[in-house]
Amino acid sequence: MVNTKVDLLGLELDNPVIPASGTFGFGYEFAELYDINCLGSFSFKGTTLESRFGNPTPRIAECPQGMINSVGLQNPGVHKVIAEELPKLKEVFNKKVIANVGGFAIEEYQECAKLLDAEEQVGILEINISCPNLHAGGVNFGTDAKNAAAVIEAVKKVTKKPVMAKLTPNVTDITEIALACEAAGADGISMINTLLGMRIDLKTKKPVIANKMGGFSGPAIMPVALRMVYQVYEKVNVPIVGMGGISKAEDVIEMMLAGATAVQVGAANLVNPFACRDIINDLPQVMEKYNISSLKEIIGGAH
Amino acid sequence: MTQGIYEVLKNEQLTSAVYRMVLSGDTSALVRPGQFVNLLVEGCYLRRPISVYDWDEKTVTIIYKVVGEGTEKMSKWQEGHKCDILVGLGNGFDTSKSGDRPLLIGGGVGVPPLYGLCKRLVAEGKKPTVILGFNEEKEIFCKQEFSALAETVITTVDGSVGVKGFVTDAMKDMDYSFFYTCGPMPMFKAIEKTAVGSGEYSFEERMGCGFGACMGCSCKTKYGNKRICKDGPVLEREEIIW
């Protein structure tokens, strides 16, 4: 018998597989298909203080082994999430969830985090710092160590729950941002968010995505994600949740060997709605194949 | 929605770019005409959403146009080919609103989902009229199939067959209880100006997942934000923001 359990920021997860924010909604579409209680945890749709429609369509473009999205944080706003979505989610998922928080000003992140802190269902706050800072000319918080640290520090002041900083890979040195977040009090790091990319339609000769550019995800980005997790693991002491193109049980193991304590599965859910369940089901036999008796023991094993 | 492996029973060319494919497998998730399926195509990352033309207990039939890499590959699938498909996506048309004499208006590759709808309406004892719009004679498909079910008017932009002009030229003098339409956006805008009374429009949008998870195909309506794939593709005339 192999052991797939891992400990993440005070939560004991049955397995390290967590659907990534924005690819799993609030769980109901998937709960219609299978019992989502098999998941380690679940990072729900990125939530902001106010409701957002997001970006104009088309928001999706296909790439070889991946996709670009430019949804633009469409969500009903934190008040509605708490009043309507979380109670519904509780009916289909009985474990602690990860609340993914977005914002366009430090005060927004704080207010949103404060409200979610009061929710018993929420086990971890995952702070998406890849949002444009509207008070600083639209530069992403996550691409500047000082701004990134300022968001984490502000959020830490209003919550007792563990705080994870979700890093953007669109930086020169991701370890610098990770270290700044750790110093600001982040209890964990989740990485990587999508890579900035674009596609151009040869028929119209214009960008496929209405917003021109968007976030590139899918199996194509896994080597980049893996490399970054590997680099950050060497520098920080807090746990890392690794993501970027994970689609099968072997990928989970590879990401954990690079240094991830748990993983998130994103784009794969959109292509195969059963992706997370399949990965979880496959994990024991893949562990056996590679002589792994406990997943906890392989974290950072490649170093 | 169900996911399954389906087998190609037939994949025939109808026009230079349009094909009809019959697939066998579980069709229990198809409950309304106007729903769609999402096919995994080898070598393509995202699935291909295609509307359902017709179905029975064991088979589902789709009609698709070759517009890119995915549909090009689909057109090469031979009898016996196996593919992974999500079936029973989207809301579909609501036939309870049709009244006795509904009008069905299809344009180009928007024609296929109206076939299943027409069949359902006839089965419910209603008397539908169908208008199918094409650019020219060689693009016409499924004329016989629709004619066997209901009075069918063809329009062609070049006048090579039927009424010369657009679907709206054939609509003008018609009297109908409700309308259903699927086709390109310019046709929708023309219908919106011409049509009388209530109706349903079936929309197309670039999709990520096709089952409501990614929010890739959202639109604003008078009833709030909707996902074309999950809350649509069929929207009521009254809710659409043009």
Domain boundaries, chain B: 2-89, 95-202
Interface membership of A59 toward B (CB under 8 Å)? yes
Query: What pLDDT score was predicted for residue B102?
Result: 98
Q: What is the second-level CATH architecture of the domain A6-55+71-198+216-298?
A: Alpha-Beta Barrel (3.20)
pLDDT 10s digits, A155-169:
999 999 999 999 999
Question: How far A285 CA lies from chain B's nearest CA (Å)?
Answer: 23
Distance set, CA A227 to CA A174, A224, A232, B59 (Å): 11, 5, 9, 46
| CB distance A72 to A52 below 8 Å | yes
The per-residue pLDDT for range B95-116, each reduced to its tens digit, is: 999 999 999 999 999 999 999 9
The predicted pLDDT at position A1 comes to 85
Q: Could you tell me whether strands A188-191 and A163-166 are parallel, antiparallel, or unpaired per DSSP bridges?
A: parallel
Of B205, B213, B215, Cβ closest to residue A269: B213
Residue A138: predicted pLDDT: 66
Q: Please judge whether A270 and B205 are an interchain contact, meaning their C-beta atoms are less than 8 angstroms apart.
A: no
Q: Which residues of A touch B211 (CB under 8 A)?
A: 29, 273
Q: Report pLDDT for A86.
A: 95
Q: Tell me, what's the pLDDT at A137?
A: 65
Strand A188-191 with A240-243, pairing:
parallel
What average pLDDT is seen over chain B?
A: 97
The owner of tokens 């650019």 is B135
Q: HEC string of chain B? A: CEEEEEEEEEEEECCCCEEEEEEECCCCCCCCCCCEEEECCCCCCCCEEEEEEEECCCEEEEEEECCCHHHHHHHCCCCCCEEEEEEEECCCCCHHHCCCCEEEEEEHHHCHHHHHHHHHHHHCCCCCEEEEEECCHHHCCCHHHHHCCCEEEEEECCCCCCEECCHHHHHCCCCCCEEEEECCHHHHHHHHHHCCCCEEEECCCCCCCCCCCCCCCEEEECCEEEECCCCCCEEEHHHECC
Check B218 against A218: CB less than 8 A apart.
no
Q: Give residue A134's pLDDT.
A: 66
CB pairs under 8 A between A and B: 88
Residues of B with CB under 8 A from a CB of A: 1, 3, 40, 44-47, 86, 205-209, 211-220, 225, 230
Give the pLDDT of residue A215: 95
pLDDT at A143: 93
| Range A167-178 average pLDDT | 97
Give per-residue pLDDT as tens, A128-143.
998 776 676 667 899 9
Q: How far apart are CA A22 and CA A19, in angstroms?
A: 9
- Give yes or no for A210 touching B (CB within 8 A): no
Tens digits of residue pLDDT in B76-88: 999 999 999 999 9
Determine whether the interchain pair A271/B215 forms a contact, defined as Cβ–Cβ distance below 8 Å.
no
pLDDT, mean of residues A176-187: 98
Tell me which of A112, A131, A181, A276 is the catalytic residue.
A131
Annotated catalytic residue A131: yes
A218 in reach of chain B (CB within 8 A):
yes
CA-to-CA separations, B152 to B129, B167, B171, in angstroms, rounded: 6, 12, 12
List CB contacts (< 8 A) between A267 and chain B. Answer: 45
Chain B contact present for A84, CB below 8 A:
no
pLDDT digits (tens, 9 = 90+) for A194-210: 999 999 999 999 999 99
pLDDT score of A133: 67
B-chain CB neighbours of A269 within 8 Å are: 209, 213
State the fold for domain B2-89: Elongation Factor Tu (Ef-tu); domain 3 (2.40.30)
Percentage above 70 pLDDT, chain B: 100
Mean pLDDT (chain A) is 96
Give the mean model confidence (pLDDT) for residues A229-241.
98
> Can you tell me the mean pLDDT for B152-178?
95
Q: Please give the average per-residue pLDDT across B132-159, as a whole number.
A: 97
Q: Which of B46, B209, B230 sits opposite A62 (nearest CB)?
A: B46
Confidence (pTM): 0.95
For residue A139, what pLDDT is reported? 74
Confidence of residue A3 (pLDDT cuts 50, 70, 90): very high
Chain B touched by A214 (CB under 8 Å): no
CA distance A43 to A64: 26
Q: Answer yes or no: same fold for B2-89 and B95-202.
A: no
Q: Which residue of A has its CA nearest to B208?
A: A60
- pLDDT at position A213 is 93
Q: In the prediction, which pLDDT does B89 show?
A: 97
Given the candidates 3.40.50.170, 3.40.50.80, 3.40.1740.10, 3.30.420.240, the CATH classification of the domain at B95-202 is: 3.40.50.80
Kindly report, residue by residue over B185-232, the tens digit of the pLDDT: 999 999 999 999 999 999 999 999 999 999 999 999 999 999 999 999
pLDDT of residue A78: 97
